[in-house]
Structure formats: structure tokens, C-alpha cells
Amino acid sequence: MQVGRWNHQSSENSPSNRRGDHRSYAPRAAGARGGRSAFPSRRSSEFSRPSRAPARRRGFGSFGETEQEIAKFMHKTTVTTSEPAFVPEHAFSDFDINAHLKKNIEARRYVSPTPIQDKAIPHALLGQDVVGLAETGTGKTAAFLIPLIDKVMKQKGERVLIMAPTRELAVQIEKELAGFARGLGFRGMVAVGGANIGPQIAGLKFDPAFVIGTPGRLKDLIERRSLDLTNFGTVVLDEADRMLDMGFIDDMRLILGKMRKERHTLFFSATMSKDIERLIGDFLTQPIIISVKTQDTSKNVEQDVVRIPRGKDKFEVLVELLQNRDFSRVLVFGRTKYGVEKLAKALSRRRLFAESIHGNKTYGARIRALEAFKHGRVTVLVATDVAARGLDIPAVSHVINYDLPSTYEDYVHRIGRTGRAENKGKALTFVQER
């Protein structure tokens, strides 16, 4: 763990090249038919036509084209030494925050802060700009919500803007806010695309203390003059690197430019790219840098590959895996929106009931699919990389990379959906033999 002041000369983080046991996992594909397509052939009746070729695929820019890259998909979770347990410097009861807020924290059974909470909350309470470098699943949401709820309670008229890359993450943050702020007398609202903008415009007329939104919808509301940011003194950029990856850099700059220059800024990211460094330099004032990144992939995730021999149908291999009872809650990643939707429907026809999440689904449909998966009404969620970051899905037993990720970083974020907290997880990556 590292804490320090922002240095404009800080270097870009580079992922470590950890390698483990290089044995591959190649299950027998019961009933598999010939063909090398990513989906079953027409004869299998699972799809009426093949998916359109994506811009990035094996042989055209996907990560995992060489044996050296494939080796990074394999890591056994053998433990040779025990790591010392993290001992926080604070308890939540130690923080100088509103007494009712403390009761809400206690009611949610928060006792000891996580590393990012332990290091970030004291600086945020002092009004300092903070850059938090940490993976998803490390408690970042509470790290910014707790001090900012206290700030809203103590500073009359204070308003907070929170930017998040996806609709699902924005909704998740709002749910956390509702729990921590129960009975405190203020409200928050979500402003995201894919949902009716009318109720969001109406909700802004009540001057909510917290506005949580995606950059595109926030920009839309600003252009409609429904959202005036001159009254907001605090901004949070959550999963900032993901927002840049999704092409929101111009929207982010426009939104930040609409706020007053003297503001409190909290910035969270899993990585530190050159674009992230420039954003920090342009919009934060002498920030405290807190890094709790330990390794690229969780020590709790056993990683391996599933090699699909020539002549085997990888859909049939997937079906066989999912019929195993150990695969109790499985997140399957595909490359394209069309392919993900078709794959989910094909699995359901095989009585492996699945839901899908991708950019073409409406806001409501995505939330319903996510809730069905979280509560065990379906055991398989098929998703594009929209689900690779920020979503808190408990007890995912397996992540399956049905299609190769575009980059190693995408792979790291995908498999980070399993093996969270103290749970063990498994990640399997399908590799089609040529």
C-alpha cells in the first residue's frame, strides 16, 4: 500500500507477467459436431446464422494469439506462504463523522475499513483531493460515500456529482448511498442513458444532494439546461480508466469544465495511464495518491484454459461445463452484443437458463437480468465487457471467457468478478486450436 502526493512525472503502471502451472483443461465435448465457428453450426439448430465478424478477434487483435499470451490465462492457486493480514489504522467508529451516519454504518455491519477506506476516508474528510488506485471489489464506493455524506450533513447546501462508466454501476452506487444515508433527510438520484429522461429532469428540480450518472446522460442534461453544475462543490470520478476506455474523455472534460474551479475532487481508477495522468494534472489540486493495488489477478482465482480441438464445437464444450453442478453461478464473457444475446438464448433452449447484459438492452432489462443473476433465479449471465468492471456480484463461482478478451487488462477485469473478498473462484478461457 502506498500513500503520497501527486507527482506529474509518475510513470505508467505496467502489469506484472505472473505465470503459473501451464497445464490446460480440455474437457470432452459430448455430442460435439464438426466446425470451427465460434457458435454452433446451422445443423445444431442453436443459431439460425453466424454472428458478424467483430473488428477484434483471434488473429485480428485479440489477446491470446500466441502461446506466450495464452500462458497468462493459467495460474494455479497453490499457497506456499501465508500473507500477513491487513490491520487498519482506524475503525469506522474512530472517524469524526455524523453520529447517525455512524449508526447506519454499524447497521450495515461495517466494522473494520478495507485498505482503500482506511487510507482515503481521513483525507476526504479533510477536504483534500484524493486519487485512489485500486481494483473493483476493494470497497471504493464506501471510501467516497461515507466522507461525502458527512460533508453534506455538515455543510448546508453542499451537492455532490458522481460520474460512473455504466448504468449498472451508477445504480449500485445509488443503492449504497440509500443504505448509508437512511434517515438523514436528503436524497440522491440516478441519471443514466437507456432510461426515460423525463423523470430524471423532474428529479433534478428537487435539487438532490447527490447526482449519480454516466457521462453521456449528464452531458445531455447539461445541454438541456436541466443540470446546473455551478452549485456542486464536490465531484467523484469512479472507474475513471473505464470511462476513458469507453470514449468518454471529451464528455468528462466538458462536465468538469462546467463546475467551479475550486472544488473537492475524488478520483478512483484501477490503472494509471497517460490520459489518466493528464486528467489528474488538469482537474485535481495537490491530490493525495493512495495505491492499494497488490497484483494484477486475484490470488483467490484459479485460472486455466479450455483448448478446443479442431473439429470440436465450443458451444457444446460450454454446455458440458455448465451442466456440472460445481458451476453454480457463472459469468460468461462474449465479444459482441449480437453474439452475447444469441448465446444466452441458445443456452436457455438447452435448459441452462441464462440472461444477458450488453449495450443493446434497455436500462430496465439490464437491471432485471443482473438482479435475476444476483438472486439465483438464473445461474448463467452472458455479458460483453460492460460487466467486466464495477459490478458487485456476490459468489460468482466461475468466469468463462467464451471469446478472447481484446487486451490482458480486459482479461484481468473480467476474471476479477470471481474470487472476491475471501471467496475462491475459477476462470476458464476458451482457446480455439487452429
pLDDT value of position 37: 37
Residue 347 lies in a domain: yes
Q: Which helix (H) or strand (E) holds 348?
A: helix 337-349
Q: Which residues pair with 189 in a beta bridge?
A: 211
pLDDT value of position 71: 72
State how far the Cα of 157 lies from the Cα of 233, in Å rounded to an integer.
Answer: 9
Which string of b and e fits 308-323 if b means at least 16 CB within 10 Å?
beeebbbbbbbbebbe
pLDDT value of position 10: 39
pLDDT at 267 over 50: yes
| 368 and 383 both lie in a single domain | yes
User: 10 Å Cβ neighbour count for 9?
Assistant: 5
Pairing between β-strand 210-213 and β-strand 234-237 as defined by DSSP bridges: unpaired
pLDDT value of position 5: 59
| 169 and 265 both lie in a single domain | yes
The whole-number average pLDDT for the span 162-176 is 92
| 231 and 304 both lie in a single domain | no
Q: What cell numbers appear for 128 in the block?
A: 483534500
Place of cell 449495450: 359
| 266 and 376 both lie in a single domain | no
The percent of residues in the chain predicted with pLDDT above 70, rounded, is 79
Between 76 and 248, residue with greater pLDDT: 248
Q: Which helix (H) or strand (E) holds 289?
A: strand 288-291
The whole-number average pLDDT for the span 237-264 is 90
Contact predicate 3/119, CB 8 Å: yes
Q: What cell numbers appear for 151 in the block?
A: 460533508
pTM of the model: 0.65
pLDDT value of position 72: 67
The whole-number average pLDDT for the span 281-298 is 79
Instruction: Look at residues 291, 323, 351 and tell me which one is the last residue of a structural domain.
Output: 291
| 318 and 286 both lie in a single domain | no
Q: Which residues pair with 210 in a beta bridge?
A: 160, 188
Residue 2 lies in a domain: no
Place of cell 464445437: 313
Q: Tell me, what amino acid is at 142?
A: A
| 256 and 379 both lie in a single domain | no
pLDDT value of position 75: 67
The whole-number average pLDDT for the span 386-408 is 82
| 173 and 317 both lie in a single domain | no
Contact predicate 427/398, CB 8 Å: yes
pLDDT at 14 over 80: no
pLDDT value of position 84: 57
Residue 148 lies in a domain: yes
Between 77 and 425, residue with greater pLDDT: 425
State how far the Cα of 158 lies from the Cα of 266, in Å rounded to an integer.
Answer: 15
| 65 and 181 both lie in a single domain | no
Domain limits at 43?
32-75+297-432
pLDDT value of position 322: 95
pLDDT at 434 over 80: no
pLDDT value of position 132: 93
Domain count, the chain: 2
Q: Which residues pair with 269 in a beta bridge?
A: 133
State how far the Cα of 415 lies from the Cα of 400, in Å rounded to an integer.
Answer: 8
| 353 and 399 both lie in a single domain | yes
Between 248 and 25, residue with greater pLDDT: 248
State how far the Cα of 24 lies from the Cα of 73, in Å rounded to an integer.
Answer: 10
Q: What's the Cα-to-Cα distance from 153 to each of 143, 146, 183, rounded to whole Å?
A: 17, 11, 12
Cβ contacts of 308 within 8 Å, gap of 6 or more:
26, 29, 314, 317, 430, 431, 432, 433
| Residue 52: Cβ-neighbour burial (10 angstroms; 0-12, 13-18, 19+) | exposed
- Rg, Å, the chain Cα set: 22
| 160 and 258 both lie in a single domain | yes
pLDDT in tens, 103-129: 999 999 888 899 999 999 999 999 999
- Assign residue 124 the CATH number of its domain: 3.40.50.300
State how far the Cα of 222 lies from the Cα of 433, in Å rounded to an integer.
Answer: 50
The tally of CA atoms less than 13 A away on the side-chain side of residue 174 is 22
| 276 and 309 both lie in a single domain | no
pLDDT value of position 8: 46
Q: What's the Cα-to-Cα distance from 401 to each of 102, 285, 319, 414, rounded to whole Å?
A: 41, 40, 14, 8
State how far the Cα of 151 lies from the Cα of 130, in Å rounded to an integer.
Answer: 15
**DSSP symbols for 46-90:** S-SSPPPPPSS-TTTT-S--SHHHHGGG-B----SSPPPPP--S-
| 134 and 271 both lie in a single domain | yes
Residue 223 lies in a domain: yes
Lowest mean pLDDT among 129-138, 183-192, 342-351: 129-138
Instruction: Look at residues 291, 308, 323 and tell me which one is the last residue of a structural domain.
Output: 291
Band (329; pLDDT cuts 50, 70, 90): very high
Helix (H, G, I), strand (E, B) or coil at 50: coil
**DSSP symbols for 299-345:** TTEEEEEEEE-TT--HHHHHHHHHTSTT--SEEEE-SSHHHHHHHHH
pLDDT value of position 119: 94
Residue 83 lies in a domain: no
Residue 7 lies in a domain: no
Residue 332 lies in a domain: yes
Residue 197 lies in a domain: yes
Tell me how far the alpha carbon of residue 83 is from its chain's centroid.
Answer: 26
Which sign does the torsion angle of CA 45, 48, 52, 54 carry? negative
Instruction: Look at residues 274, 291, 308 and tell me which one is the last residue of a structural domain.
Output: 291
